[in-house]
Chains A and B, each alone.
Chain A
Amino acid sequence: MDGTPFENKVALITGSSRGIGKAVALAFARNGADVVVNHRKESGASLSHAREVCGEIETMGRRVFAVPADISIKASVGKLFEETVREFGRLDFLILNAAMAPFKPIERLLERDLRQLVETNYMGNIFCIQAALPLLENTEGKIVFISSLGSRFYNPSYPLGSMKAAMECVVRDCAESLGERGISVNGICAGIVKTDSFKVLRQYMEEIDAMPDELFVTPEEVADVALFLCSPASRAIRGQTVVADRGLSNRLYRPVPRK
């Protein structure tokens, strides 16, 4: 990678108070970017976790601030980007990481569950893209969407997978329609990461406990791919969702080694 592609630039990561989002926020800061941390709730653990992330970034000598905003609410997304402009005056990298979904089979989703699913994980991401456009146009900005293997493979009680699949199409379409405006759009299809949502997954997929450690992706590994997709080194990649799963999806017939 040439020079320091992240210095004096600004990254906004949705849902970055913990998990993959937190790792991405820290990785951008470590590489010289100033960071906007976004979390959903104005109080409680969401706020305290966001403050911890901000504290870590400050000790790296980067500028950082946290904005509570539920991305499913368009007005909140508007404020998130207004505050970004007010604090930093620019945006270079938008990482769409925030996600929230019920864990039950699709046929059992209530209307409320369905709305939450679509409003947060599809509409919310699009609200963010729309609100970020005027900023990203000025900086030849990059958008990276964090997807998961649920977009391509069945996971029990994981309706979020269908939204991830929809967003991977949004990544492809926006890469073309926004490419003319100098904005790059790509995604990362992350394998199984031991974040908080893994705690949910293992309740529905008991086999996961037998999976060897080398098949788990770390949040830091996902963050490194995000850095790559935001660096000039990835300039030939357009509208793709890169699988980063340590080969898990290659092992169709042997996810678990024989005893």
Chain B
Amino acid sequence: MGNAVIISEDKVIDAVKQAIAEALEIDKSTIGSDSSLIRDLGAESLDFLDINYRLEQTFGIKMARHTILEHVEEMFGEESAIDANGKLTKKAVDLLEMRFDGAEIGLAPGIDVEEAPSIITVRSMARGVMDVLASVPDKCPACGNPSWTAEDGAHIKCGSCGEQAVFTNGDDLMKAWLEKVQEEKKLF
């Protein structure tokens, strides 16, 4: 996996703000990097798909279609993340804290699953984009040169042969991350 940052976090955050401003029809200048999309910007669950779609168009990537909690339940069994009453399990909260790098996400076990998306911020969405962008292979599969560039600041291309970069999709990256965490921590 290529680790060199071809598109800076600032650029990605700016693109996320742009996508949110367009999807929610709000003024871009009112969006902070740590704004919660639901709590601070009034987004609804369907808006996330719209924002993701715009980011996919901007960067030529595929964002995750499903939430991390949905992946957990598919991989580790129903009720591993969300109990029979629709509440987050302790394991789910532990996992989300890991996913958000230990940031204060303000969730506790027993919180309704519908509250969970409120932890998504501009910065965490940008991270989702950065993860996908970082999945570009070290070398261009077409010409073998390690010379990715993004002339327009958004679409990564091979600097040698001009081939468009191909990325892993967000869902596959999330599953791979979950497998790694499970192997290390045996949460589920």
Contact = CB atoms under 8 A, between A and B. Distances in A.
Given A199-B53, A203-B53, A203-B65, A110 B78 contact: yes
A103 B65 contact: yes
Contact of A44 (B44, B52, B53, B82): B44
B1 interface: no
B74 interface: yes
B11 interface: no
B49 A199 contact: yes
Contact of A199 (B46, B73, B78): B46
Interface of A: 44-46, 48, 103-104, 108, 110-112, 157, 196-197, 199-200, 202-204
Contacts of B52: 203
B44 A203 contact: no
B110 interface: no
Contact of A45 (B42, B73, B74): B42
Given A103-B65, A203-B65, A197 B46 contact: yes
Q: What class of interface size applies to chain B in its complex with A?
A: 10 to 19
B50 interface: yes
Interface string B63-95: 001100000011000100010000000000000
A157 B50 CA distance: 17
Contacts of A204: 65
A49 B103 CA distance: 32
Given A110-B74, A199-B53, 17 more contacts: A44-B38, A44-B44, A45-B44, A46-B44, A103-B65, A108-B74, A110-B78, A111-B78, A112-B78, A157-B65, A196-B46, A197-B46, A199-B49, A200-B46, A200-B49, A202-B53, A203-B52
Interface string B48-65: 011011000000000001
Contacts of A103: 65
